[in-house]
Structure 1
């Protein structure tokens, strides 16, 4: 890479939006070397406004912020606002940016972007926020409640009610996987089947990947539990994971009739407790209930049960914030690792502790 500053370019698109027409033109250059991305255009009155994001987008040290420039011509030149950034983090929100403007039926403007919350709420990952945007008497865009992003605002539309954080429950009786489930597609190809109130999970890691297949959920609270019941025993590792990526994860898995708790850090796996030999056959279908308890976003405790009522903790609490991977945080989920066989699950429950 050369030493040129980041530059935002524009170019006319064809009518179907699939081809470039004409020559690219320069919009803005990052002369301040703060970073520049996530641009959004809008036209108000005499000006085209270009909202863009600066600073570090991701990770525990993110200081993402929102700036604006304007021009009376689509192709510029654009003038940067002297008071940039017009939106940044503070006590309630750590950082925010990379958004788009939406409008209400009565013409009010809202900026929808992603943000990190500070402290333990950081471990929920980037969250969507809405901040009201107004055009000032100086013909510049400003945020109605000031340049420091905040978490509490009047609801945009009358008759709306803020809903409590929802728990998640999947009994796998649908004929298709629910949209809340996610997987790390660069590292594994999952094989997922739903039948008779069961989910079958298997898969193969891709070339140079470091671990198995994870099917995960996004946490929406810093304190929660994630629970499932594993229905089958075989030589594959099957169970629950707290998944950062293929080389960084916690897992509690059942292999044959043996429970194993381990940490994989930078590709190196370390047992966190002695294996637990369960009083069940090494093959067949005997339910084993597994539970992950999360506190403060990164404090983990693992439990198992043979009846779903009496729970045994495998090890004292494990604290590990290192599962965070730059632009994403660890997610709880179901896990499979093996060359043959499958993992059979009967339900998944994520319950928020409020």
Structure 2
């Protein structure tokens, strides 16, 4: 599905009129290219793209987002209009940074003097959270990792680079004091041009103020210069999960070292009926000089199940010199200048159809960070190596809504010898629910808190292929069925939905995909995989 089609569909749900073409104001003979506008509908990055960061280089926009415990680490996305995004690579496509083992959060992309820099958060082996940095001469890499820049006892996260008015380079970050019920200062410190070392003494810019909307923390600093001031957009209070209370504030100073003044009308972005807990984004300027904020929020409809999705809103600079957003909340639909007569028509994974015919998997597949790549494409089949650990080997895709149908076809002759292979909804390795072929039986199974259980069984077809289907409503009500031919379907859970509300961890959305549990030398072969949203 093109993104324009989904946008029109969503607009229709909200009682807007729309065609299946991008809604672009048609230019007359006197219009210039820059006068054209496109109407878009949030989210612009559907699915789990928390803590998005974006930079413009020429006519191209490059973005990245949190990976958490899903590899490959830190997607690189490309757009020419800030609305249509395509995943074109990853910062660490086939390995983890040597120094880190978990919590791959909050990457920040920057461009300076012909090089791209990714500042990222990760857990140091045997230690705590640190801010590291990697660099490349191309936005899609390959990236060279330079290791951690700062590792405080309470943890260091959310790195951001900025130059002061004198051209000095600084790293700004948050001390993760909230992990220990402590305040959360935003620190700044000079950094060398190689981005390998901090220089001099750190200084505090500002911190959270208990008893205000900021609650227990401020984080996610993103700094932009406007007029005589530097403005730090930041997030406050609880970021994630069902109890989130996030919002966006802003502070300003005439120098990076301050003094910093918080806006008296913070937060400048709050939740509304459509979007909940907005926050943690970055500012980007288009070619005409208009400023936009790319950030994340939860849909109030699908909520935690697809995770924190990427939204875009224009920044309005008021006569008082402070930035604002229309209605002080995320927009449902909005306009922005279109670079050309229409929006880019890039394919996305809103509706997924994978036939496994090419030489490589698409860039939107993911697997747990502790898992090695364990698949190959062979004669139109995805051959997945099994693993005896927990739910087995995993290949998953982000979900983008609470309502979807996922279907796959498994070659029955390739799943035997104690192997359980099939279609699975995944929160993490300890929390999943799926339908699989196992020892000539169709099995509906669940893993909850690391405890495995079997919900239902049925006899499997003897040879050829079996199709599995998962239909999800409201994010957590799941129906599982199987078919020998794709026409006649047999429901395993007898019409009673499986309650999968336990699946998503606090910082992630649900994935749907393929799993193979069994001896390490066993394999499972899948013919195709589809998701209809």
TM over 0.5: yes
Deviation at 1:301, TM superposition (A): 0.7
In the alignment, is residue 24 of structure 1 matched against residue 208 of structure 2? no
8 A Cα contact 1:12 1:21, kept in partner = yes
Distance 1:34 1:152, change over 3 A: farther
Q: Identify which of 332, 356, 367 aligns with 1:172.
A: 356
Tell me how far 1:3 sits from its aligned partner: 5.2
More displaced, 156-165 or 168-177? 156-165
The structure 1 residue matched to 2:484, chosen from 300, 306, 309, is: 306
Distance in 2 between residues matched to 1:255 and 1:150, nearest whole Å:
47
1:276 corresponds to which residue? Answer: 458
> Any unmatched runs of 5+ in structure 1?
none
The one-character-per-residue Cα deviations of 1:184-236 (angstroms, maximum 9, x if unpaired) are 213x334111111111112547xxx6331211111223221111111123121
In structure 1, the residue matched to 2:310 is 128
Residue 121 of structure 1 and its aligned partner are, at CA, apart by 4.8
Question: Which consecutive residues of structure 2, in runs of 5 or more, have no partner in the other structure?
Answer: 1-153, 155-179
Q: Deviations over 1:90-134 (max 9, x none)?
A: 111011111001112111111000110113354221111001102
Secondary structure of residue in 1 paired with 2:222? strand
Q: TM-score, normalised by structure 2?
A: 0.61
Instruction: Tell me what 1:182 maps to.
Output: 366
Do the aligned partners of residues 166 and 3 (structure 1) sit closer, same or farther apart at CA in structure 2, a change above 3 Å counting?
closer
How far off its partner does 1:50 sit?
A: 0.8
Q: Tell me if structure 2 keeps the 8 A contact 1:189–1:204.
A: no
Contact persistence 2:433–2:446 (CA under 8 A): yes
Report the aligned-residue RMSD: 1.9
In 2: Cα distance, 1:310 partner to 1:243 partner = 26
The question of 1:249 aligning with 2:427 is answered: no
Q: Secondary structure at the match of 2:302?
A: helix
- 2:158 alignment counterpart: none
For residue 146 of structure 1, give the secondary structure of its aligned residue in structure 2.
helix
Alignment pair present for 1:37 and 2:215: no
- Aligned positions of 1:1-354 closer than 5 A: 4-32=182-210, 33-143=215-325, 145-157=326-338, 159-161=341-343, 166-186=350-370, 188-204=371-387, 210-231=390-411, 232-234=414-416, 235-273=418-456, 275-280=457-462, 286-315=464-493, 316=495, 317-339=497-519, 340-352=521-533
Question: Contact 2:471 / 2:479 at 8 angstroms: preserved in 1?
Answer: yes
Q: What is the distance in 2 between the residues matched to 1:21 and 1:173?
A: 51
Normalised to the residue count of structure 1, the TM-score between the two structures is: 0.91
* Cα distance in 1 between the residues matched to 2:470 and 2:444: 11
Aligned residue for 2:266, secondary structure, equals coil
Q: 1:112 to 1:326 in 2, by over 3 A?
A: same
* Cα distance per residue 1:272-307 (max 9 Å; x no partner): 12x2122416xxxx2111111111221111111111
Following TM superposition, by how much is the alpha carbon of 1:334 offset from its aligned partner in structure 2, in angstroms? 0.4
CA distance in 1, matches of 2:400, 2:458: 31
CA distance in 1, matches of 2:480, 2:271: 34
Contact kept, 8 Å, 2:415 with 2:523, in 1: the verdict is no
